[in-house]
């Protein structure tokens, strides 16, 4: 029935390919000319907004067929021009994995999910069983064949997406940040799978957009970099891209593998700063007991807290810890260990079953709604969740106490500092994602709070977002705000935390400084965490410090 | 925390679960349609009992779970019973008085009939919902009831999205509370709050819908020219089930007619 795609030497070929979305002055992709041979492994990099995702959409035919855009040029994928073939017709030759596993899964059980794609391309049902078995085997999900999809972890779901594509036997696999919504264990399992695919399927063309470079850089043979204007900035083997061109990539605001970053930092004499733990300059020191001053009283205190959503199913057991003014405290641990529940208890959205959560000495859940916004803040992953007004300026000055003129001036100043001053009359929902995130930070910065809780602040962000966050943390901690960060991002912990609490099965372990915490490799393995890049280059740091002193 | 939806209670291994979902749906709908024009207590209680026996027997549902599932219908029914007992439309025989309120026989009977009708609806809905695997339901919509695959699969995608919608609403509510929203009372305050929740929810849902559609399309889904890994067919047991349900219902009607107890809707809601 269906022609099998002619195996062409070229997996994908773009000539002066330009894409411009309506209502935007700049092109998303600007006269891109690029040829990818069959069986090549290509890493696609670029700052956010550089058109990486647009290119991915083009490669599978969603642009121009499903998303409206002005397009010029030629693009052929697996020998088929995307002008003439709709996504459904390209699906048998090219498969795509997106960021969020949940919105890519259609069916309710694992085997139905794999079958879904096969049904779509009209495969004879008699051949399906064998294809499903093989695909699930190759991603390590055979045992879960009859399991319900919603019972799988994030990493398993993403592997299931890959299995469903492999069953369709595509020539090209495009992966758009496949690990950015996963916890460390999920990232590991997906990266391992990618390595296995590269080794076992030499004919499969792999086009990968990914910022966890340490894990994938050894898999690719070629690095293609787009710049902020959507133009081709660099096309070279990884050794050159992350070697002689590392400075150029850093200037483009593109992630680098930590080894390349360390080399670059060393050449600029910044290695010591980059790989040092914690805030060396901060006034805060661990073991607050040592200073008996009254202002050292904890802002937030958990006293033997236990919590369950349903009777008999305890999520948190007997938690005790305290956070002091100006302290940045990180809570780390595998998914499902109770971190997010802890965050909700910390801001009083839940009440403990046993024990106490004290904020400035009184139960946090008893703080009246009138004053809560002034005293503590929670930054969610999705900045939209906390928008409550229709205009950017109102959003920032919402519920801020003080004379109107002063509040207005302070709000404008914060907006200027975060490069949002030209949008003060816009509706928050019309901003770009990065701008939304900065606005959400602005609402927290405009008046100093006693406590700030951040839930996975670096999830799926680019390097500039991380730098922004680090600057914001610096500011609030200097103002004396106690900060609690719930995170999987070990680099963030290493670079900004004063105290690290590991969490396991609803219990919190003793607080340690980042240097102590990451020195305990056994504990890290037990918690399913990885060493931050800064620690791995600790040796390099000593060397460079030695050099600069000598 | 994930909340469980009704569908998650389905008993996959009961005899009732093996019946073709379209057949089961049609049987339940027919019984409910009939029940909506029946007024006498005897017919209504017999059909409720019949449905309950099917759920407990063929459906292998534990009685506790059935009662829990019926709770909303029970509350609804009790409301009806109470209203009708207190406020009869025509003055009738007074049965007894509670303080200033006279309870009439007619009011009580009308109330009971509404109560039982709510319960019958509940039982026959639970019968379908709790014994049906959603995927098989979608397949059977396509194969037996000729629903276009595009619509059936969209419904499935929407169904998968429901639990995360609930989680998202909770997050928004929490975030807003922490920003100090929520003191404003009254209708105006409530409307404002509803608006504030709706915008982020809608924005999120639309984005997600776009992502889901793109992913389905990229995996070759058009709704046309598909083959089917599992096909929902009609078997002898489906015919037996339909015959059983319609047979018992007919017997109940016949007996009611025969004994002169059957009362059908006569164009008025109250007599």
Q: Which tens digits make up the pLDDT trace of B223-241? A: 888 999 998 899 999 999 9
Domain ranges of chain A: 10-109+171-186+198-256, 288-512
Domain limits for position B164: 148-218
Span A231-240, mean pLDDT?
95
CA-to-CA separations, A332 to A39, A282, A433, B96, B250, in angstroms, rounded: 39, 22, 25, 67, 64
- In a 3-state reduction of DSSP, which class is residue A478? helix
Whether residues B115 and B152 fall in one domain: no
CA atoms within 13 A of residue A492's CA, in its CB half-sphere: 31
Shortest Cα distance, chain A CAs vs residue B16, angstroms:
20
Phi/psi-derived region of residue B117, left when phi > 0, alpha when psi is between -120 and 50, beta in every other case: alpha
Chain A partners within 8 Å of B213 (Cβ):
66
Instruction: Specify which residues A302 forms β-bridges with.
Output: A321, A357
Q: Does A510 or A240 have the greater pLDDT score?
A: A240
Whether residues B69 and B186 fall in one domain: no
pLDDT of residue B183: 57
Chain B, nearest residue to A443 by Cα: B179
On whether residue B186 sits in a domain, the answer given is: yes
On whether residue B2 sits in a domain, the answer given is: no
The token pair at B60 is 């292998």
pLDDT of residue A294: 42
CATH code 3.40.50.2000 for A10-109+171-186+198-256: no
Assess A118–B contact: CB distance below 8 Å, yes or no. yes
Assess A96–B contact: CB distance below 8 Å, yes or no. yes
B208-215: long-range contacts, CB 8 A cutoff, minimum separation 24: B208/A103, B208/B161, B211/A98, B211/A100, B211/A103, B211/A104, B212/A103, B212/A104, B212/A106, B212/B157, B212/B161, B213/A66, B214/A57, B214/A62, B214/A66, B214/A67, B214/A98, B215/A96, B215/A98, B215/A103, B215/A104, B215/A106
pLDDT of residue A291: 41
CA-to-CA separations, B62 to A217, A449, B68, in angstroms, rounded: 55, 52, 10
Q: Cite the DSSP H helix spans in chain B.
A: 21-35, 41-56, 63-86, 105-129, 134-143, 149-178, 186-218, 236-259
Whether residues B42 and B110 fall in one domain: yes
Whether residues B173 and B204 fall in one domain: yes
pLDDT of residue A509: 84
Assess B194–A contact: CB distance below 8 Å, yes or no. no
Q: How far apart are alpha carbons B35 and B30 in whole angstroms?
A: 9
pLDDT band at B84 (very low <50, low <70, confident <90, very high): confident
pLDDT of residue A60: 94
- A86-117 confidence digits (pLDDT tens): 999 999 999 999 988 988 999 999 999 999 99
* Residue A280 CB neighbours (<10 A): 8
Span B155-183, mean pLDDT?
84
pLDDT band at A451 (very low <50, low <70, confident <90, very high): very high
pLDDT of residue B34: 93
Whether residues B134 and B169 fall in one domain: no
- A239-266 confidence digits (pLDDT tens): 999 999 999 998 888 888 888 888 888 8
Share of chain B above pLDDT 90, in %: 42
pLDDT band at B268 (very low <50, low <70, confident <90, very high): low
Residue A88 CA from chain centroid, whole number:
29
Q: What is the DSSP letter of B38?
A: B
Whether residue A290 has pLDDT greater than 70: no
Chain B, nearest residue to A367 by Cα: B178
Assess A284–B contact: CB distance below 8 Å, yes or no. no
Residue of B163, B172, B220 with shortest CB distance to A385: B172
On whether residue B1 sits in a domain, the answer given is: no
Whether residues B39 and B68 fall in one domain: yes
CA-to-CA separations, A166 to A90, A237, A371, B219, in angstroms, rounded: 14, 27, 55, 11
Instruction: Specify which residues A40 forms β-bridges with.
Output: none
How are beta strands A222-226 and A41-45 bridged, if at all?
A: parallel
pLDDT of residue B158: 86
The mean-pLDDT minimum among A389-393, B82-86, B143-147 falls in B82-86
Exposed / middle / buried, residue B120 (Cβ in 10 Å: 0-12, 13-18, 19+): buried
pLDDT band at B8 (very low <50, low <70, confident <90, very high): low
CA atoms within 13 A of residue A180's CA, in its CB half-sphere: 19
pLDDT band at A460 (very low <50, low <70, confident <90, very high): low
Assess B193–A contact: CB distance below 8 Å, yes or no. no
Of 3.40.50.300, 3.90.1200.10, 1.10.150.530, 3.40.50.2300, the CATH number of A288-512 is 3.40.50.300
On whether residue B107 sits in a domain, the answer given is: yes
Q: Please, which residues have CB within 8 angstroms of residue A451's CB and are 6 or more apart in sequence?
A: A299, A300, A323, A346, A347, A359, A375, A376, A377, A481, A482, A483, A484
Contact across the interface for A115 and B230, Cβ inside 8 Å:
yes
- In a 3-state reduction of DSSP, which class is residue B128? helix
pLDDT band at B264 (very low <50, low <70, confident <90, very high): confident
Instruction: Specify which residues A176 forms β-bridges with.
Output: A209
Whether residues B48 and B129 fall in one domain: yes
- A326-336 confidence digits (pLDDT tens): 999 999 988 77
Chain A, nearest residue to B222 by Cα: A88
pLDDT of residue B107: 81
Question: Looking at the 3D structure of chain B, how many domains does it have?
Answer: 2
pLDDT of residue B222: 92
C-beta separation of A207 from A172 below 8 A:
yes
Whether residue A282 has pLDDT greater than 70: no
Span A256-282, mean pLDDT?
72
On whether residue B55 sits in a domain, the answer given is: yes
- B19-32 confidence digits (pLDDT tens): 999 999 999 999 99
Residue of B135, B164, B171 with shortest CB distance to A109: B135
Q: Do domains A10-109+171-186+198-256 and A288-512 have the same CATH topology?
A: yes
pLDDT of residue A538: 60
Span B67-91, mean pLDDT?
82
Q: Does A4 or B42 have the greater pLDDT score?
A: B42
């Amino acid at each position: 029935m269906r022609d099998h795609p002619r195996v062409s030497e070229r997996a994908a070929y773009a000539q002066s390919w330009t894409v411009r979305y309506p209502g935007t002055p700049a092109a998303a992709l600007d006269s891109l000319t690029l040829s990818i041979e069959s069986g090549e492994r290509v890493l696609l990099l670029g700052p956010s907004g550089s058109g990486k995702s647009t290119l991915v959409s083009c490669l599978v035919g969603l642009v121009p067929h499903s998303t409206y855009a002005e397009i010029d040029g030629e693009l052929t994928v697996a020998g088929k021009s995307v002008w003439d073939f709709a996504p459904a017709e390209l699906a048998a030759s090219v498969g795509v994995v997106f960021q969020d596993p949940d919105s890519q899964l259609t069916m309710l059980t694992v085997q139905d999910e794999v079958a879904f794609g096969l049904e779509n391309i009209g495969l004879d049902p008699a051949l399906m069983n064998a294809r499903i078995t093989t695909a699930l085997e190759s991603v390590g999900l055979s045992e879960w064949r009859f399991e319900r999809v919603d019972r799988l972890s994030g990493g398993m779901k993403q592997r299931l997406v890959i299995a469903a594509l492999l069953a369709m036997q595509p020539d090209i696999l495009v992966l758009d940040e496949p690990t950015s919504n996963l916890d460390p264990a999920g990232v590991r399992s997906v990266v391992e799978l990618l390595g296995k695919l590269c080794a076992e399927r030499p004919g499969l063309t792999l086009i990968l957009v990914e910022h966890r470079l340490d894990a994938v850089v050894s898999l690719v043979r070629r690095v293609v970099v787009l710049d902020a204007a959507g133009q081709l900035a660099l096309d070279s083997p990884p050794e050159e891209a992350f070697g002689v061109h590392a400075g150029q990539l850093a200037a483009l605001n593109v992630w680098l593998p930590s080894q390349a970053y360390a080399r670059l930092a060393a050449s600029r004499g910044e290695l010591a700063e980059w790989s040092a733990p914690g805030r060396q300059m901060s006034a805060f020191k661990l073991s607050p007991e040592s200073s008996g001053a009254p202002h050292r009283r904890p802002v937030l205190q958990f006293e033997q807290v236990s919590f369950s959503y349903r009777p008999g199913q305890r999520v948190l057991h007997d938690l005790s810890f305290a956070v002091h003014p100006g302290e940045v405290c990180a809570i780390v641990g595998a998914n499902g260990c109770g971190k997010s529940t802890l965050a909700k208890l910390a801001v009083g959205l839940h009440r403990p079953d046993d024990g106490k959560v004290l904020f400035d000495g009184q139960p946090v859940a008893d703080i009246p709604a009138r004053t809560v916004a002034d005293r503590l803040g929670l930054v969610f992953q999705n900045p939209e969740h906390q928008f409550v007004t229709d205009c950017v300026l109102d959003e920032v000055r919402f519920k801020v106490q003080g004379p109107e003129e002063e509040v207005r001036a302070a709000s404008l100043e914060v907006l200027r500092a975060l490069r949002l001053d030209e949008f003060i009359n816009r509706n928050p929902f019309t901003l770009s994602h990065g701008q939304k995130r900065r606005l959400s930070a602005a609402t927290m910065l405009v008046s100093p709070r006693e406590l700030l809780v951040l839930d996975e602040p670096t999830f799926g962000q680019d390097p500039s977002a991380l730098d922004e966050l680090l600057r914001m943390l610096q500011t609030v901690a200097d103002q004396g705000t106690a900060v609690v960060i719930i995170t999987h991002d070990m680099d963030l912990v290493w670079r900004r935390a004063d105290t690290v609490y590991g969490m396991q099965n609803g219990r919190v372990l003793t607080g340690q400084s980042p240097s102590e915490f990451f020195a305990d490799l056994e504990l890290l393995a037990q918690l399913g965490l990885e060493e931050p890049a800064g620690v791995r280059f600790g040796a390099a740091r000593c060397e460079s410090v030695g050099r600069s002193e000598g | 925390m994930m909340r469980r939806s009704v569908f998650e209670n389905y008993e996959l291994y009961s005899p009732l679960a093996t019946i073709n979902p379209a057949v089961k749906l049609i049987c339940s709908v027919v019984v409910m349609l009939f029940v909506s024009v029946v007024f006498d207590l005897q017919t209504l209680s017999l059909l409720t009992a019949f449905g309950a026996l099917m759920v407990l027997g063929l459906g292998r549902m534990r009685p506790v779970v059935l009662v829990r599932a019926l709770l909303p219908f029970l509350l609804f029914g009790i409301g009806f019973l109470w209203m009708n007992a207190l406020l009869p439309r025509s003055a009738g025989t007074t049965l007894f008085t509670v303080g200033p309120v006279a309870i009439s026989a007619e009011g009580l009977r009308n109330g009971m009939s509404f109560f039982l009708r709510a319960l019958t609806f509940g039982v026959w809905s639970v019968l379908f919902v709790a014994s049906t695997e959603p995927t098989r339901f979608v397949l059977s919509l396509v194969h037996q009831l000729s629903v276009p695959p595009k619509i059936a699969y969209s419904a499935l995608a929407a169904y998968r999205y429901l639990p995360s919608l609930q989680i998202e609403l909770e997050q928004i509510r929490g975030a807003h509370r922490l920003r100090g929203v929520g003191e404003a009372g009254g209708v105006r305050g409530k409307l404002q709050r509803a608006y504030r929740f709706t915008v982020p929810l809608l924005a999120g849902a639309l984005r997600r819908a776009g992502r889901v559609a793109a992913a389905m399309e990229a995996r070759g889904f058009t709704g046309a020219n598909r083959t089917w890994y599992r096909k929902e067919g009609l078997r002898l047991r489906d015919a037996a089930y339909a015959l059983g349900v319609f047979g018992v219902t007919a017997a109940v009607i016949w007996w009611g007619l025969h004994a002169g107890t059957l009362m059908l809707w006569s164009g008025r809601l109250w007599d």
